[in-house]
Amino acid sequence: MKWKYLKRKLRYNPKRSFLFLFLFLFLASLTIGYAFLTQTLSIEGTSTLLGATWDIHFDNLVVKSGSVTATVVVTH
């Protein structure tokens, strides 16, 4: 009795075959993608930075009551 049940379950099924093929290809692509992304990346070259300046300014500055006023005016 168990053999007939098992034989019936192991018959060729196109949906199951497609599912197994899809899972195999999915897992294979994941492993290949992971191996590709974890390779050692070597970057060679030089870079230079010339004339670095900072320009910090505030737009729409609002002075509210209780604010502290500056005692020394900043000049550029």
Please state the domain extents for the chain.
2-37
pTM: 0.41
**pLDDT greater at residue 69 or residue 11:** 11
How do residues 18-76 score in pLDDT, each as one tens digit? 999 999 999 999 999 999 888 887 878 888 878 878 887 777 777 777 767 666 666 66
C-alpha separations of 47 from 41, 42, 50 in Å: 18, 15, 10
CB proximity list for 69: less than 8 A, separation 6 or greater: 63
Predicted pLDDT of residue 46: 87
Predicted pLDDT of residue 70: 63
Distant-in-sequence contacts of 57-61, Cβ < 8 A, 24+ apart? none
User: Which tokens hold the place of 20?
Assistant: 């197994």
Report the length, in residues, of the chain: 76
